[in-house]
């Protein structure tokens, strides 16, 4: 008998976090702190358990994908819009990742937010975010996708600005919200294009008819005389939305500043869920993106630029959370590169592994911040490994996974992307070559800033014992009292999520690379149905992962052993050695290097002046344009056209009123005067 996924189970998965958010948000005072944390954790735990059950049904029992409308939202001019779910293996995997990481963040927040007066509000927000993300990934149509897309944007605005009394937090959440509006405008244009060319927004219908509708050379003239492929226009517009959510250059500037929010938010939104929404969306839309080579090249270029150049900025950061934030930007670039070379499975696989070890690194950074009494500057840390052994070991695991150490989870996903980029580069000209070298060089950069963070935080001199007036800058989160505090390990509600995240950071890549990437069992000994069959479609000539499988995949052990021979590993090793020398053995070399490379350091510290471009250029230019428009409106349109016309008519009316006296002798005098003037003119011209 065929196993059918229950509609009631899917509804419960979505609504359980929403119910917890409503109770904690609207009745927080009545239920108190314990009630708020309990109801939200239970809601997300139920959602996580049911998501795992759905994934088990699909993998272990062979349940068919679910695609059904729950109810009709509205009907307009022949268009029917529905609320429904499309749950296949791609969706089920995302549901498990989102709910599992969210559950651990909820538990972690009990310890991290213990002294915060907005405790209930915080739990309401993160539970509401989980609901929004589930609505996004489970959608079966573009409009519901956009609803979830905007919902996560709104909740992220609330969470980044959670400490709304801090001016920096207010600026950060506005920045995130406005930059994402730029991306969302592009996505909205793409959705409008889908509605126009397909006559529907239903995923299944659009994907089934993608080739005939837009894959046959159909063109559109955006600018008169310049014809663009319809597929290219729609895909690039959709990807602009992904650039905003997944923080791709140049729409990346919001993510580092979003570290102004509480650390659990960094793990939930900016490592494991919201920033991966763009990657998920492009993978979901693979039947469309495969129809446009130009769009894929554009995606590859943007991803490669993000992977390398944002990673460089992480080298000069001193705020522990911002280093991890720029690492997130770089890794999102790797995922985007995979999308650009049609290695959608590798992009989503890296999304999954990255969610675990990056959430681990963010939560580990939060544990350090707790121990340092909310100090975030790594220059005021050092020597913490003996005080915080659990945090140190788990962050070491996260770092080894991030730098793609063979046998760790990040290796199987990240090195697969590098290999796919190498094969994909062969047919994509200079863009392909640029993409491959960017991700290869990024291996060195990632290793350097990752081990730099470890050494500055956990090794060397205990700099937190130095006087507060030592000349170092402070993050806005730091307390006013910077006296000597003896750090200690965080409580179990903080360290338990770290341990639970460290386990998949080590093992999940080893166990799942075969099924999810190459269509084999975990050991690589036999072929099985590819994990994303039916969820991801690509053209045979674009199947770069097939080449990786045929030439390099002989099981997880052989693949890892081969990894020791690749250029990526040696570049990673070089980054490790350089960081070890500069920040552990000879720390004085770091200061010399900053002096010797003052200009590049200045460029990186100013983040390529991207903020100046957005704030001073686009935002400032828009402000000046608004002021000019206001001046035109008030002075020219209102002042001259409207008020001026009214004033002129009033003036003329006043003159006419003086002539219309109503007295007979005035009219007689005017007639005689006019007759005299007429006679004078006639005599002048006739004589």
* C-beta separation of 246 from 278 below 8 A: yes
Phi, psi (5° rounding) for residue 428? Answer: -125, 20
pLDDT tens for each residue of 399-429 = 999 999 999 999 999 999 999 999 988 888 8
The reported pLDDT for the residue numbered 226 is: 77
Note the pLDDT of residue 221: 74
Q: What is the mean pLDDT of residues 287-306?
A: 94
**Range name among 17-21, 258-262, 484-488, 563-567 with the lowest pLDDT average:** 484-488
| 3-class secondary-structure state, position 74 | strand
What pLDDT, on a 0 to 100 scale, did the predictor assign at position 632? Answer: 75
**How far is CA 346 from its chain centroid?**
18
| Residue 352 β-bridge partners | none
Quote the mean pLDDT of the chain.
87
Residues in the chain: 687
Q: Which helix (H) or strand (E) holds 220?
A: strand 219-223
What pLDDT sits at residue 111?
87
Residue 180 tokens, joined = 């994402």
Task: Work out the average pLDDT over 371-378.
Answer: 88
CA angle at 298 for the pair 289 and 226, rounded to the nearest 5°: 90
CA distance to 343, 351, 391, 400, 568, per residue, from 506 (Å): 23, 15, 16, 9, 19
- The DSSP annotation for 426-474 comes to GGSHHHHHHHHHHHHHHHHHHHHHHHHHHHHHHSS--GGGS-TTSS---
Examine the pLDDT at 471 and tell me if it is beyond 50: no
pLDDT value of position 614: 67
What percentage of the chain has pLDDT greater than the value 70? 94
- The region of weakest confidence among 165-174, 187-196, 444-453 is 165-174
What is the rounded CA–CA span in Å between residue 133 and residue 129?
6
Residue 237 to residue 81: CA distance in whole angstroms = 21
Check whether 345 has a pLDDT greater than 50: yes
SS3 343: coil
- High-pLDDT (> 90) share of the chain, %: 52
413, 347 in Cβ contact below 8 A? Answer: no
What is the maximal distance between C-alpha atoms in the chain? 122
Q: Residue 687: which pLDDT band, with cuts at 50, 70 and 90? A: low
Tens of pLDDT, residues 180-234 = 888 999 999 999 999 989 888 999 999 999 888 787 777 877 777 778 889 999 9
| pLDDT(450) > 90 | yes
612 vs 98: which has the higher pLDDT: 98
Mean pLDDT over 298-323 rounds to 93
Residue in 159, 503, 457 with CA at minimum distance from that of residue 360: 503
* Both structure tokens of 528: 């099985």
Contact in structure between 172 and 164 (CB atoms under 8 Å)? no
As given in the structure block, the two tokens for residue 481 are 């009292």
| Straight-line distance from the first to the last Cα atom of the chain, in angstroms, rounded to the nearest whole number | 119
31-59: pLDDT as tens digits? 899 999 999 999 999 999 999 999 999 98
Question: Is residue 475 over pLDDT 50?
Answer: no
pTM of the model: 0.87
> For position 619, what pLDDT does the model report?
58
Q: Which of 300-309, 571-580, 612-621, 654-663 has the lowest mean pLDDT?
A: 612-621
Q: Which residue spans within 382-438 are E strands per DSSP?
A: none
Split at pLDDT 50, 70, 90, the class of 478 is: very low
Query: Is pLDDT at 302 greater than 70 in this prediction?
Result: yes
Residue whose tokens read 């959705």: 191
Residue-level pLDDT at 474: 42
pLDDT at 598: 87
For residue 544, the SS3 value is helix
- DSSP tally for the chain: helices H, then strands E: 30, 4
pLDDT at residue number 240: 94
Mean pLDDT across 60-79: 84
Residue of 466, 113, 60, 423 whose CA lies nearest to 265: 113
Q: What is the average pLDDT across 648-654?
A: 78
User: So what's the pLDDT on residue 623?
Assistant: 63
438, 316 Cβ separation under 8 angstroms: no
């Amino acid at each position: 008998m065929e196993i059918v996924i229950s509609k009631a189970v899917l509804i419960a998965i979505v609504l359980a976090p929403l119910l917890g958010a409503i109770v904690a948000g609207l009745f927080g005072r009545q239920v108190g702190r314990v009630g708020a944390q309990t109801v939200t954790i239970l809601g997300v735990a139920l959602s996580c358990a049911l998501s795992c059950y759905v994934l088990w049904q699909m993998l272990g029992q062979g349940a068919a994908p679910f695609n059904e409308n729950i109810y009709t939202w509205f009907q307009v001019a022949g268009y029917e819009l529905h609320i429904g779910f499309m749950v296949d293996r791609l969706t089920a995997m995302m549901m498990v990742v989102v709910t599992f990481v969210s559950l651990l963040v909820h538990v972690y927040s009990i310890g991290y937010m213990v002294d915060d007066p907005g405790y209930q509000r915080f739990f309401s927000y993160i539970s509401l975010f989980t609901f929004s993300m589930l609505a996004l990934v489970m959608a079966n149509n573009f409009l519901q996708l956009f609803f979830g897309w905007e919902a996560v944007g709104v909740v992220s605005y609330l969470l980044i600005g959670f400490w709304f009394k801090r001016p920096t937090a207010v600026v950060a959440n506005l920045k995130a919200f406005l930059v994402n509006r730029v991306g969302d405008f592009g996505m909205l244009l793409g959705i409008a294009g889908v509605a126009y060319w397909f006559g529907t927004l239903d995923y299944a219908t659009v994907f089934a008819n993608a080739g005939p509708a837009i894959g046959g050379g159909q063109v559109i003239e955006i600018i008169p005389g310049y014809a663009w492929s319809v597929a290219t226009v729609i895909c690039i517009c959709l990807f602009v939305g992904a650039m905003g959510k997944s923080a791709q250059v140049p729409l990346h500037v919001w993510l580092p500043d979003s570290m102004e929010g509480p650390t659990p938010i960094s793990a939930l939104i900016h490592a494991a869920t919201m920033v991966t929404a763009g990657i998920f969306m492009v993978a979901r839309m693979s039947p469309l993106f495969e129809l446009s080579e130009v769009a894929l090249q554009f995606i590859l270029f943007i991803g490669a630029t993000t992977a390398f150049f944002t990673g460089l900025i992480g080298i000069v950061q001193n705020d522990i959370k911002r280093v991890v934030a720029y690492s997130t930007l770089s890794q999102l670039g790797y995922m985007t590169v995979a999308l650009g070379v049609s290695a959608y499975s590798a992009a989503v696989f890296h999304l999954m592994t990255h969610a675990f070890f990056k959430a681990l690194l963010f939560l580990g950074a939060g544990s350090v911040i707790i121990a340092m009494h909310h100090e975030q500057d790594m220059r005021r840390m050092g020597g913490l490994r003996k005080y915080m052994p659990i945090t140190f070991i788990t962050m070491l695991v996260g770092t080894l996974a991030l730098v793609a150490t063979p046998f760790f989870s990040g290796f199987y996903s990240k090195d697969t992307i590098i290999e796919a980029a190498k094969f994909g580069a062969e047919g994509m000209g200079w863009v392909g070559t640029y993409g491959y070298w960017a991700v290869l060089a990024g291996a060195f950069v990632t290793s350097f800033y990752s081990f730099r963070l470890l050494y500055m935080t956990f090794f060397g001199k205990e700099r937190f014992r130095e006087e507060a007036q030592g000349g170092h800058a402070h993050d806005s989160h730091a307390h006013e009292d910077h006296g000597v505090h003896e750090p200690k390990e965080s409580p179990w509600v903080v360290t338990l999520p770290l341990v639970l995240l460290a386990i998949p950071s080590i093992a999940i890549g080893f166990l799942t690379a075969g099924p999810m990437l190459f269509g084999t069992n975990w050991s690589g000994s036999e072929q099985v149905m590819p994990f994303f069959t039916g969820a991801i479609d690509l053209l045979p000539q674009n199947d770069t992962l097939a080449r990786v499988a045929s030439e390099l995949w002989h099981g997880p052990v052989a693949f890892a052993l081969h990894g020791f021979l690749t250029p990526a590993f040696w570049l990673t090793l070089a980054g490790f050695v350089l960081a070890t020398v500069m920040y552990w053995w000879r720390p004085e070399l770091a200061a010399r290097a900053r002096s010797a490379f003052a200009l590049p350091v200045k460029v990186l510290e100013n983040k390529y002046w991207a903020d100046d471009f957005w704030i001073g250029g686009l935002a400032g230019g828009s402000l000046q344009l608004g002021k000019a428009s206001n001046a035109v409106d008030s002075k020219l349109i209102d002042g001259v056209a409207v008020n001026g016309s009214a004033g002129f008519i009033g003036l003329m009316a006043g003159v006419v009123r003086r002539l219309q006296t109503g007295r007979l002798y005035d009219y007689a005098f005017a007639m005689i005067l006019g007759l005299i003037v007429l006679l004078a003119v006639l005599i002048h011209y006739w004589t």
